[in-house]
Structures are given as C-alpha cells and as structure tokens.
Amino acid sequence: MDPIEQLSHIGPALIGLADRIEPHQLTGATPCERFTVNDILDHMITLGGAFSYWFRGEEALAVTPPSRDGQVPAAAFRLTLENLLDAVRSPGALERTITAPMGTMPGETFARLVAFDGLVHGWDLATATGQAYDVPADVVAAVDEFARAALSAEMRDGDTFKAETNPSAGASRLERLVAFSGRTV
C-alpha cells in the first residue's frame, strides 16, 4: 500500500479525533510521555505544516500553533492535515529528496514515516481522550511492516523512540505497533 493511501485513511481519522477532543482534555497525559494532548496537537500542527512545504519542494516557513485560549485547535489541525495530504499528492512529492530531522531520504520513505508517526500519535490521542480510533486493518498492517523494517536501533534514543515494550496478551495489531514504537500498552 503506498503512503498516499495510508495517509488518506490516517489523516481523516486524526481529524475526527481532534474534532471530538474536549477543552478540559487538552492538559491530559498521553502514552507519549513527553506530550500532553495539547502538546501532540501542537506537535502535529507545527511539523505537519513544515512537512507540507518539504513535500512541495519548498523551504519551510516557520509554522506555529494557533493561539486558542484553552480551546481545541480542531480547525487548524484539520487545515494542517488537509494541506499535508495535498502536498504528499503534489507532483513529484514522493520522488523528491527530503532532508528531515532523521536524515535525507526519498519523499516516499518520508511519507511512510509521517504515516507511522501519525498513526502512533493518533493512538496516543485516542487513548488519552477515551475515543475509538478506527483505522483500517490493512493500513495498520502496511504501516507496521514499514516501521519494523525502518526503525533502527540508532533511532531508539529514548527521545524519538524508546525501547520496544511488550504488549499485553490479546493486543490488537495497532497496539503491537505502538508497543514496538516504545509505548506501554
């Protein structure tokens, strides 16, 4: 499954999660120990905004999360993810070379990393806010296959990714993937 198809499912699922977050949940802890719910939303708005420029072959402008006075930035989140998907679909996006914090790589590889990051952070948001997270099984399987091939020991620095954890008995494929990424499931 190509990364555009993956992101075509993951993006709307993430938008749906953000649309259902309540303002009082913004300060809640998430399975991503470094981030609250608010931090994940800001992280995805900031990086997703920059990634849109990179996929279009442009220099990224500074992207900052919107000021919101305690409100959920659902509209900004939606706009960011829609722009990101448009950028990934833009001519040449998957063929161009992208220099990202994890190194220089083909756009297709970077898009797959974005899908992995989005899928896992979506699980973080859903878990933290008590929501269902509905991503098709074949999308989870494709992201999982890529992640297990791409995630190197060097990337497990305790910050970007932690050491793999053991998922609970009966864990879903998504839960096994997030345990692989270092989350406690």
Domain assignment present for residue 36? The answer is yes
For residue 185, tell me if it sits in a domain: no
60: domain CATH number is: 1.20.120.450
User: pLDDT over 70 for what percent of the chain?
Assistant: 99
Q: Hey, what's the torsion of the CAs at 14, 111, 2, 89, to 10 degrees?
A: 80
Q: 10 Å Cβ neighbour count for 16?
A: 17
Q: What is the pLDDT of residue 35?
A: 95
In a domain, residue 108? The reply is yes
Average of per-residue pLDDT values in the chain:
94
Lowest-confidence region among 130-134, 141-145, 151-155: 151-155
- 31 inside domain: yes
Let me know if residue 57 belongs to a domain: yes
- At residue 109, does pLDDT exceed 90? yes
Q: What does the pLDDT look like over 66-107, one tens digit per residue?
A: 778 889 999 999 999 999 999 999 999 999 999 988 889 999
- List of residues 6+ apart from 36 with CB closer than 8 A: 26, 27, 28, 29, 30
Domain that holds residue 63: 3-180
**Is residue 163 one of the residues assigned to a domain?**
yes
Confidence of residue 63 (pLDDT cuts 50, 70, 90): confident
Residue 158 has pLDDT above 80, yes or no: no
- Exposed / middle / buried, residue 71 (Cβ in 10 Å: 0-12, 13-18, 19+): exposed
Mean pLDDT calculated for residue range 129-153: 95
> Per the structure, how many domains does the chain have?
1
Predicted TM-score (pTM) of the model is: 0.94
55 in a structural domain: yes
Per the domain annotation, does 140 fall within a domain?
yes
Whether the Cβ atoms of residue 37 and residue 30 lie closer than 8 Å to each other:
yes
- Average pLDDT (137-145) is 98
